[in-house]
Chains A and B, each alone.
Chain A
Protein backbone atom coordinates (compact mmCIF):
# COMPACT_ATOMS: atom_id res chain seq x y z
CA UNK A 1 0.00 0.00 0.00
CA UNK A 2 1.28 3.35 -0.97
CA UNK A 3 0.02 4.90 2.22
CA UNK A 4 2.54 2.99 4.29
CA UNK A 5 5.22 5.37 3.14
CA UNK A 6 3.19 8.30 4.47
CA UNK A 7 3.03 11.77 3.00
CA UNK A 8 0.32 13.61 1.15
CA UNK A 9 1.36 12.70 -2.35
CA UNK A 10 1.44 8.98 -1.76
CA UNK A 11 -1.91 9.08 0.10
CA UNK A 12 -3.54 10.63 -2.95
CA UNK A 13 -1.90 7.88 -4.95
CA UNK A 14 -3.26 5.29 -2.52
CA UNK A 15 -6.78 6.52 -3.04
CA UNK A 16 -6.59 6.84 -6.80
CA UNK A 17 -5.01 3.37 -6.88
CA UNK A 18 -8.01 2.00 -5.03
CA UNK A 19 -10.36 3.70 -7.45
CA UNK A 20 -8.91 1.86 -10.44
CA UNK A 21 -10.97 -1.01 -11.77
CA UNK A 22 -9.64 -4.37 -12.76
CA UNK A 23 -10.55 -3.83 -16.41
CA UNK A 24 -9.81 -5.60 -19.64
CA UNK A 25 -8.12 -2.41 -20.81
CA UNK A 26 -7.96 1.25 -19.92
CA UNK A 27 -11.10 3.11 -20.93
CA UNK A 28 -10.74 5.83 -23.51
CA UNK A 29 -13.21 8.57 -22.69
CA UNK A 30 -16.20 8.58 -20.40
CA UNK A 31 -18.11 6.01 -22.39
CA UNK A 32 -16.18 3.10 -23.84
CA UNK A 33 -18.06 -0.09 -24.56
CA UNK A 34 -14.90 -1.93 -25.47
CA UNK A 35 -13.97 -2.25 -21.80
CA UNK A 36 -15.24 -4.67 -19.16
CA UNK A 37 -14.73 -4.16 -15.44
CA UNK A 38 -13.89 -7.67 -14.36
CA UNK A 39 -13.90 -6.87 -10.64
CA UNK A 40 -17.41 -5.44 -10.73
CA UNK A 41 -18.70 -8.42 -12.66
CA UNK A 42 -16.84 -10.93 -10.50
CA UNK A 43 -18.15 -9.55 -7.23
CA UNK A 44 -21.66 -9.01 -8.64
CA UNK A 45 -21.87 -12.63 -9.71
CA UNK A 46 -20.30 -13.76 -6.44
CA UNK A 47 -22.96 -11.85 -4.49
CA UNK A 48 -25.59 -13.26 -6.81
CA UNK A 49 -24.44 -16.78 -5.96
CA UNK A 50 -24.25 -15.95 -2.26
CA UNK A 51 -27.89 -14.92 -2.62
CA UNK A 52 -29.11 -17.72 -4.88
CA UNK A 53 -27.50 -20.81 -3.38
CA UNK A 54 -28.77 -20.53 0.20
CA UNK A 55 -32.15 -19.31 -1.00
CA UNK A 56 -32.53 -22.18 -3.45
CA UNK A 57 -31.57 -24.60 -0.70
CA UNK A 58 -34.12 -23.02 1.61
CA UNK A 59 -36.76 -23.13 -1.13
CA UNK A 60 -36.01 -26.77 -1.84
CA UNK A 61 -36.25 -27.78 1.79
CA UNK A 62 -39.28 -25.57 2.40
CA UNK A 63 -42.00 -27.47 4.21
CA UNK A 64 -45.38 -26.28 5.36
CA UNK A 65 -44.61 -27.86 8.72
CA UNK A 66 -42.51 -26.31 11.45
CA UNK A 67 -39.76 -24.35 9.63
CA UNK A 68 -36.12 -24.19 10.65
CA UNK A 69 -34.50 -20.93 11.67
CA UNK A 70 -33.00 -20.20 8.29
CA UNK A 71 -36.22 -21.03 6.49
CA UNK A 72 -38.07 -18.71 8.86
CA UNK A 73 -35.65 -15.90 8.10
CA UNK A 74 -35.98 -16.45 4.35
CA UNK A 75 -39.75 -16.65 4.61
CA UNK A 76 -39.89 -13.43 6.59
CA UNK A 77 -37.91 -11.72 3.87
CA UNK A 78 -40.10 -13.22 1.15
CA UNK A 79 -43.29 -12.16 2.90
CA UNK A 80 -41.93 -8.68 3.53
CA UNK A 81 -41.01 -8.22 -0.13
CA UNK A 82 -44.30 -9.70 -1.30
CA UNK A 83 -46.22 -7.29 0.88
CA UNK A 84 -44.31 -4.32 -0.52
CA UNK A 85 -44.81 -5.56 -4.09
CA UNK A 86 -48.53 -6.04 -3.50
CA UNK A 87 -48.83 -2.52 -2.17
CA UNK A 88 -46.98 -0.94 -5.06
CA UNK A 89 -47.89 -2.92 -8.15
CA UNK A 90 -51.47 -3.67 -9.04
CA UNK A 91 -51.05 -6.44 -11.55
CA UNK A 92 -49.42 -9.80 -12.11
CA UNK A 93 -46.68 -10.22 -9.50
CA UNK A 94 -45.38 -13.55 -10.82
CA UNK A 95 -42.13 -11.99 -11.98
CA UNK A 96 -42.16 -8.64 -10.21
CA UNK A 97 -42.17 -9.93 -6.63
CA UNK A 98 -39.20 -12.30 -7.16
CA UNK A 99 -37.48 -9.48 -9.02
CA UNK A 100 -37.94 -7.20 -6.02
CA UNK A 101 -36.54 -9.89 -3.73
CA UNK A 102 -33.55 -10.30 -6.03
CA UNK A 103 -32.96 -6.55 -6.11
CA UNK A 104 -33.17 -6.20 -2.37
CA UNK A 105 -30.97 -9.11 -1.33
CA UNK A 106 -28.49 -8.77 -4.17
CA UNK A 107 -27.97 -5.04 -3.73
CA UNK A 108 -27.73 -5.44 0.04
CA UNK A 109 -25.06 -8.12 -0.37
CA UNK A 110 -23.13 -6.05 -2.91
CA UNK A 111 -23.32 -3.01 -0.63
CA UNK A 112 -22.16 -5.12 2.29
CA UNK A 113 -18.82 -5.68 0.58
CA UNK A 114 -18.15 -2.07 1.62
CA UNK A 115 -17.96 -3.25 5.24
CA UNK A 116 -15.04 -5.55 4.47
CA UNK A 117 -11.70 -3.80 5.14
CA UNK A 118 -10.80 -1.79 2.05
CA UNK A 119 -7.37 -3.32 1.60
CA UNK A 120 -8.32 -6.96 2.13
CA UNK A 121 -9.40 -7.92 -1.39
CA UNK A 122 -6.83 -5.73 -3.20
CA UNK A 123 -4.07 -7.29 -1.04
CA UNK A 124 -5.24 -10.80 -1.85
CA UNK A 125 -5.46 -9.85 -5.52
CA UNK A 126 -1.91 -8.56 -5.39
CA UNK A 127 -0.71 -12.02 -4.36
CA UNK A 128 -2.18 -13.31 -7.62
CA UNK A 129 -0.51 -10.51 -9.55
CA UNK A 130 -3.60 -8.35 -9.98
CA UNK A 131 -2.65 -4.70 -9.75
CA UNK A 132 -6.01 -2.98 -9.45
CA UNK A 133 -9.19 -4.19 -7.77
CA UNK A 134 -12.40 -2.49 -6.65
CA UNK A 135 -14.53 -5.07 -4.94
CA UNK A 136 -17.63 -2.89 -4.41
CA UNK A 137 -19.90 -3.35 -7.45
CA UNK A 138 -22.41 -0.71 -6.36
CA UNK A 139 -19.69 1.95 -6.24
CA UNK A 140 -19.25 1.40 -9.98
CA UNK A 141 -21.57 3.39 -12.24
CA UNK A 142 -21.91 0.35 -14.47
CA UNK A 143 -23.06 -1.73 -11.53
CA UNK A 144 -25.86 0.58 -10.52
CA UNK A 145 -26.85 1.78 -13.99
CA UNK A 146 -26.95 -1.78 -15.19
CA UNK A 147 -29.71 -2.30 -12.66
CA UNK A 148 -31.55 0.96 -13.21
CA UNK A 149 -31.54 0.53 -16.99
CA UNK A 150 -32.79 -3.02 -16.54
CA UNK A 151 -35.63 -1.55 -14.50
CA UNK A 152 -36.28 0.98 -17.29
CA UNK A 153 -36.53 -1.85 -19.80
CA UNK A 154 -38.99 -3.62 -17.50
CA UNK A 155 -41.00 -0.41 -17.22
CA UNK A 156 -41.25 -0.28 -21.02
CA UNK A 157 -42.13 -3.97 -21.12
CA UNK A 158 -44.92 -3.67 -18.56
CA UNK A 159 -46.23 -0.48 -20.17
CA UNK A 160 -46.61 -2.35 -23.44
CA UNK A 161 -47.93 -5.46 -21.73
CA UNK A 162 -50.61 -3.60 -19.76
CA UNK A 163 -51.61 -0.90 -22.27
CA UNK A 164 -50.55 -2.37 -25.58
CA UNK A 165 -48.17 -0.67 -27.97
CA UNK A 166 -50.88 1.79 -29.04
CA UNK A 167 -51.72 2.68 -25.46
CA UNK A 168 -48.05 3.13 -24.60
CA UNK A 169 -47.43 5.43 -27.59
CA UNK A 170 -50.65 7.28 -26.85
CA UNK A 171 -49.33 7.88 -23.35
CA UNK A 172 -46.17 9.43 -24.80
CA UNK A 173 -48.10 12.13 -26.63
CA UNK A 174 -50.81 12.73 -24.01
CA UNK A 175 -49.02 12.51 -20.65
CA UNK A 176 -48.48 14.51 -18.53
CA UNK A 177 -50.30 17.50 -20.06
CA UNK A 178 -53.03 15.81 -22.08
CA UNK A 179 -53.77 16.72 -25.65
CA UNK A 180 -56.46 18.37 -27.78
CA UNK A 181 -58.96 16.53 -29.89
CA UNK A 182 -58.05 16.81 -33.59
CA UNK A 183 -60.91 18.24 -35.62
CA UNK A 184 -61.30 19.78 -39.07
CA UNK A 185 -60.00 23.03 -37.66
CA UNK A 186 -56.30 23.34 -38.65
CA UNK A 187 -55.64 25.17 -35.39
CA UNK A 188 -56.19 21.94 -33.48
CA UNK A 189 -53.59 20.22 -35.67
CA UNK A 190 -50.98 22.75 -34.63
CA UNK A 191 -51.99 22.51 -30.96
CA UNK A 192 -51.90 18.72 -31.18
CA UNK A 193 -48.39 18.66 -32.60
CA UNK A 194 -47.15 21.25 -30.14
CA UNK A 195 -48.59 19.44 -27.14
CA UNK A 196 -47.33 16.11 -28.47
CA UNK A 197 -43.79 17.47 -28.69
CA UNK A 198 -43.97 18.89 -25.19
CA UNK A 199 -45.43 15.68 -23.83
CA UNK A 200 -42.82 13.54 -25.53
CA UNK A 201 -40.10 15.77 -24.14
CA UNK A 202 -41.50 15.53 -20.62
CA UNK A 203 -42.01 11.79 -20.83
CA UNK A 204 -38.40 11.41 -21.94
CA UNK A 205 -37.23 13.63 -19.12
CA UNK A 206 -39.28 11.55 -16.70
CA UNK A 207 -37.80 8.25 -17.83
CA UNK A 208 -34.27 9.55 -18.07
CA UNK A 209 -34.59 11.34 -14.74
CA UNK A 210 -36.03 8.29 -13.00
CA UNK A 211 -33.41 5.96 -14.37
CA UNK A 212 -30.54 8.34 -13.75
CA UNK A 213 -31.54 9.17 -10.18
CA UNK A 214 -32.30 5.51 -9.50
CA UNK A 215 -28.81 4.41 -10.47
CA UNK A 216 -27.07 7.55 -9.22
CA UNK A 217 -28.59 7.45 -5.72
CA UNK A 218 -27.18 4.02 -4.98
CA UNK A 219 -23.89 4.78 -6.68
CA UNK A 220 -23.45 8.08 -4.85
CA UNK A 221 -24.13 6.61 -1.44
CA UNK A 222 -21.83 3.67 -1.89
CA UNK A 223 -19.08 5.63 -3.60
CA UNK A 224 -19.07 8.23 -0.82
CA UNK A 225 -19.07 5.49 1.80
CA UNK A 226 -16.17 3.78 0.09
CA UNK A 227 -14.19 7.02 -0.12
CA UNK A 228 -14.68 7.69 3.57
CA UNK A 229 -13.41 4.19 4.33
CA UNK A 230 -10.33 5.00 2.19
CA UNK A 231 -9.78 8.20 4.18
CA UNK A 232 -10.15 6.34 7.47
CA UNK A 233 -7.70 3.73 6.21
CA UNK A 234 -5.34 6.61 5.49
CA UNK A 235 -5.52 7.64 9.14
CA UNK A 236 -4.21 4.26 10.25
CA UNK A 237 -1.75 4.29 7.40
CA UNK A 238 -0.09 7.38 8.89
CA UNK A 239 1.22 5.10 11.68
CA UNK A 240 0.94 7.88 14.27
CA UNK A 241 -0.74 7.24 17.63
CA UNK A 242 -3.44 9.79 16.82
CA UNK A 243 -4.00 8.30 13.38
CA UNK A 244 -4.35 4.74 14.68
CA UNK A 245 -6.74 5.72 17.49
CA UNK A 246 -8.81 7.79 15.10
CA UNK A 247 -8.77 4.97 12.57
CA UNK A 248 -10.18 2.51 15.08
CA UNK A 249 -12.70 4.97 16.47
CA UNK A 250 -13.99 6.57 13.29
CA UNK A 251 -13.74 3.29 11.39
CA UNK A 252 -15.99 1.61 13.94
CA UNK A 253 -18.45 4.52 13.96
CA UNK A 254 -18.63 4.76 10.18
CA UNK A 255 -18.92 0.99 9.72
CA UNK A 256 -21.81 0.82 12.19
CA UNK A 257 -23.52 3.74 10.50
CA UNK A 258 -22.82 2.17 7.15
CA UNK A 259 -24.74 -0.98 8.09
CA UNK A 260 -27.80 1.25 8.07
CA UNK A 261 -26.88 2.78 4.71
CA UNK A 262 -26.20 -0.65 3.17
CA UNK A 263 -29.66 -1.92 4.05
CA UNK A 264 -31.46 1.37 3.56
CA UNK A 265 -30.07 1.90 0.07
CA UNK A 266 -30.92 -1.67 -0.90
CA UNK A 267 -34.44 -1.12 0.42
CA UNK A 268 -34.79 2.21 -1.38
CA UNK A 269 -33.54 0.67 -4.60
CA UNK A 270 -36.13 -2.11 -4.32
CA UNK A 271 -38.93 0.30 -3.46
CA UNK A 272 -38.13 2.58 -6.40
CA UNK A 273 -38.01 -0.44 -8.68
CA UNK A 274 -41.49 -1.36 -7.49
CA UNK A 275 -42.72 2.22 -7.76
CA UNK A 276 -41.54 2.59 -11.36
CA UNK A 277 -42.95 -0.79 -12.39
CA UNK A 278 -46.14 0.05 -10.51
CA UNK A 279 -46.47 3.29 -12.46
CA UNK A 280 -46.14 1.31 -15.66
CA UNK A 281 -49.25 -0.60 -14.60
CA UNK A 282 -51.35 2.52 -14.10
CA UNK A 283 -53.43 4.14 -16.80
CA UNK A 284 -53.18 7.86 -17.09
Chain B
Protein backbone atom coordinates (compact mmCIF):
# COMPACT_ATOMS: atom_id res chain seq x y z
CA UNK B 1 0.00 0.00 0.00
CA UNK B 2 2.60 2.51 -1.03
CA UNK B 3 2.49 5.32 -3.49
CA UNK B 4 5.44 4.85 -5.78
CA UNK B 5 6.82 5.84 -9.16
CA UNK B 6 4.47 3.19 -10.59
CA UNK B 7 1.87 5.93 -10.49
CA UNK B 8 3.77 8.09 -12.95
CA UNK B 9 4.41 5.19 -15.30
CA UNK B 10 0.77 4.18 -15.12
CA UNK B 11 -0.14 7.76 -16.02
CA UNK B 12 2.19 7.69 -19.01
CA UNK B 13 0.89 4.30 -20.13
CA UNK B 14 -2.62 5.69 -19.90
CA UNK B 15 -1.83 8.65 -22.13
CA UNK B 16 -0.08 6.41 -24.64
CA UNK B 17 -3.06 4.08 -24.81
CA UNK B 18 -5.48 6.98 -25.19
CA UNK B 19 -3.30 8.53 -27.88
CA UNK B 20 -3.10 5.25 -29.84
CA UNK B 21 -6.85 4.87 -29.54
CA UNK B 22 -7.37 8.39 -30.82
CA UNK B 23 -4.94 7.87 -33.68
CA UNK B 24 -5.60 4.35 -34.91
CA UNK B 25 -8.82 2.96 -33.48
CA UNK B 26 -11.39 5.70 -33.19
CA UNK B 27 -11.31 7.43 -36.60
CA UNK B 28 -11.63 4.37 -38.87
CA UNK B 29 -14.37 2.86 -36.75
CA UNK B 30 -16.36 6.07 -36.57
CA UNK B 31 -15.85 6.62 -40.29
CA UNK B 32 -17.10 3.11 -41.05
CA UNK B 33 -20.07 3.56 -38.73
CA UNK B 34 -21.01 6.92 -40.20
CA UNK B 35 -20.59 5.71 -43.75
CA UNK B 36 -22.75 2.68 -43.08
CA UNK B 37 -25.34 4.87 -41.42
CA UNK B 38 -25.34 7.05 -44.52
CA UNK B 39 -25.73 3.97 -46.72
CA UNK B 40 -28.59 2.66 -44.64
CA UNK B 41 -30.30 6.03 -44.76
CA UNK B 42 -29.89 6.11 -48.54
CA UNK B 43 -31.13 2.54 -48.82
CA UNK B 44 -34.20 3.31 -46.75
CA UNK B 45 -34.91 6.42 -48.79
CA UNK B 46 -34.52 4.44 -52.01
CA UNK B 47 -36.81 1.72 -50.71
CA UNK B 48 -39.41 4.30 -49.81
CA UNK B 49 -39.11 5.91 -53.20
CA UNK B 50 -39.42 2.51 -54.86
CA UNK B 51 -42.52 1.75 -52.86
CA UNK B 52 -44.05 5.06 -53.77
CA UNK B 53 -43.32 4.63 -57.47
CA UNK B 54 -44.67 1.10 -57.29
CA UNK B 55 -47.91 2.40 -55.86
CA UNK B 56 -48.02 5.06 -58.52
CA UNK B 57 -47.38 2.50 -61.24
CA UNK B 58 -50.12 0.30 -59.82
CA UNK B 59 -52.65 3.08 -59.82
CA UNK B 60 -51.70 4.19 -63.32
CA UNK B 61 -51.89 0.59 -64.50
CA UNK B 62 -55.36 0.38 -63.00
CA UNK B 63 -56.34 3.50 -64.87
CA UNK B 64 -54.92 2.20 -68.12
CA UNK B 65 -56.76 -1.09 -67.70
CA UNK B 66 -59.98 0.76 -66.97
CA UNK B 67 -59.53 2.92 -70.04
CA UNK B 68 -58.72 -0.08 -72.20
CA UNK B 69 -61.79 -1.88 -70.95
CA UNK B 70 -63.97 1.09 -71.74
CA UNK B 71 -62.49 1.38 -75.19
CA UNK B 72 -62.95 -2.33 -75.83
CA UNK B 73 -66.57 -2.06 -74.76
CA UNK B 74 -67.05 0.86 -77.09
CA UNK B 75 -65.44 -1.00 -79.97
CA UNK B 76 -67.57 -4.10 -79.39
CA UNK B 77 -70.69 -1.98 -79.26
CA UNK B 78 -69.72 -0.23 -82.44
CA UNK B 79 -69.01 -3.54 -84.16
CA UNK B 80 -72.36 -4.87 -83.06
CA UNK B 81 -74.12 -1.83 -84.40
CA UNK B 82 -72.21 -2.01 -87.65
CA UNK B 83 -72.98 -5.71 -88.10
CA UNK B 84 -76.66 -5.08 -87.47
CA UNK B 85 -76.57 -2.32 -90.03
CA UNK B 86 -74.85 -4.59 -92.54
CA UNK B 87 -77.38 -7.31 -91.94
CA UNK B 88 -80.25 -4.83 -92.41
CA UNK B 89 -78.66 -3.50 -95.55
CA UNK B 90 -78.13 -6.98 -96.96
CA UNK B 91 -81.68 -7.94 -96.13
CA UNK B 92 -82.99 -4.80 -97.86
CA UNK B 93 -80.90 -5.48 -100.92
CA UNK B 94 -82.02 -9.12 -101.04
CA UNK B 95 -85.68 -8.15 -100.77
CA UNK B 96 -85.32 -5.56 -103.51
CA UNK B 97 -83.53 -8.04 -105.73
CA UNK B 98 -86.20 -10.63 -105.12
CA UNK B 99 -88.95 -8.17 -105.94
CA UNK B 100 -87.15 -7.11 -109.05
CA UNK B 101 -86.74 -10.75 -110.13
CA UNK B 102 -90.39 -11.47 -109.47
CA UNK B 103 -91.45 -8.38 -111.44
CA UNK B 104 -89.21 -9.35 -114.30
CA UNK B 105 -90.58 -12.87 -114.34
CA UNK B 106 -94.09 -11.57 -114.26
CA UNK B 107 -93.35 -9.24 -117.09
CA UNK B 108 -91.84 -12.08 -119.09
CA UNK B 109 -94.86 -14.26 -118.46
CA UNK B 110 -97.17 -11.46 -119.54
CA UNK B 111 -95.12 -10.84 -122.62
CA UNK B 112 -95.19 -14.54 -123.48
CA UNK B 113 -98.92 -14.70 -122.89
CA UNK B 114 -99.51 -11.69 -125.07
CA UNK B 115 -97.37 -13.16 -127.75
CA UNK B 116 -99.20 -16.48 -127.53
CA UNK B 117 -102.55 -14.73 -127.70
CA UNK B 118 -101.45 -12.80 -130.74
CA UNK B 119 -100.34 -16.00 -132.35
CA UNK B 120 -103.57 -17.66 -131.44
CA UNK B 121 -105.56 -14.82 -132.88
CA UNK B 122 -103.64 -14.96 -136.09
CA UNK B 123 -104.16 -18.67 -136.27
CA UNK B 124 -107.84 -18.29 -135.45
CA UNK B 125 -108.15 -15.69 -138.17
CA UNK B 126 -106.41 -17.96 -140.60
CA UNK B 127 -108.61 -20.85 -139.58
CA UNK B 128 -111.68 -18.66 -139.86
CA UNK B 129 -110.67 -17.47 -143.28
CA UNK B 130 -109.95 -21.00 -144.35
CA UNK B 131 -113.25 -22.17 -142.94
CA UNK B 132 -115.18 -19.35 -144.52
CA UNK B 133 -113.60 -19.90 -147.93
CA UNK B 134 -114.44 -23.54 -147.77
CA UNK B 135 -118.01 -22.67 -146.81
CA UNK B 136 -118.39 -20.13 -149.53
CA UNK B 137 -116.50 -22.13 -151.97
CA UNK B 138 -114.40 -19.39 -152.93
CA UNK B 139 -111.36 -17.50 -152.00
CA UNK B 140 -111.90 -14.97 -149.31
CA UNK B 141 -109.77 -11.96 -149.49
CA UNK B 142 -108.31 -11.70 -146.06
CA UNK B 143 -107.46 -8.09 -146.60
CA UNK B 144 -110.91 -7.13 -147.75
CA UNK B 145 -112.57 -8.72 -144.79
CA UNK B 146 -109.99 -7.83 -142.23
CA UNK B 147 -112.55 -5.98 -140.10
CA UNK B 148 -114.81 -8.91 -140.06
CA UNK B 149 -112.04 -11.29 -139.23
CA UNK B 150 -110.83 -9.10 -136.50
CA UNK B 151 -114.29 -8.99 -134.94
CA UNK B 152 -114.51 -12.72 -135.22
CA UNK B 153 -111.17 -13.24 -133.63
CA UNK B 154 -112.19 -11.03 -130.71
CA UNK B 155 -115.43 -12.94 -130.33
CA UNK B 156 -113.57 -16.22 -130.30
CA UNK B 157 -111.20 -14.81 -127.82
CA UNK B 158 -114.00 -13.79 -125.60
CA UNK B 159 -115.95 -16.82 -126.27
Contacts and interface: CB of A to CB of B under 8 A. Distances in A.
Interface stretch (A50-58, A175-183, A228-236): A50-58
A222 to B, nearest CB: 13
A101 B27 CA distance: 12
Given A33-B4, A101-B21, A145-B3, A150 B33 contact: no
Nearest to A95: B22
B13 A45 contact: yes
Interface of B is mostly: helix
Contact of A142 (B10, B15, B18, B29): B10
A140 B6 contact: yes
B30 A78 contact: yes
Given A23-B4, A99-B21, A149-B7, A62 B29 contact: yes
Interface residues of B, number: 34
Given A45-B13, A146-B10, A150-B11, A97 B26 contact: yes
Contact of A36 (B6, B17, B28, B38): B6
Interface of B: 1-11, 13-18, 20-22, 24-33, 35-36, 38-39
Interface in A150-182: 150, 153
A78 B22 CA distance: 12
B4 A51 contact: no
A94 B27 CA distance: 9
A102 interface: yes
15 contacts: A30-B1, A33-B4, A37-B6, A41-B10, A55-B25, A59-B24, A64-B32, A78-B30, A101-B25, A102-B17, A102-B18, A106-B17, A137-B10, A141-B2, A147-B10
Nearest to B1: A141
| Candidate in B1, B15, B25 with the most chain A CB atoms within 10 angstroms | B25
Contacts of A102: 14, 17-18, 21
Given A60-B28, A98-B26, A79 B4 contact: no
Interface residues of A, number: 55
A142 B7 contact: yes
A119 interface: no
Contacts of B24: 56, 59
B33 to A, nearest CB: 5
Interface in A7-24: 19, 23
Contacts of B25: 52, 55-56, 58-59, 98, 101
Contacts of A101: 21, 25-26
Given A102-B14, A102-B21, A63 B2 contact: no
B33 A52 contact: no
A48 B17 contact: yes
A51 B2 contact: no
Contacts of B35: 64
Given A36-B6, A95-B22, A146 B11 contact: yes
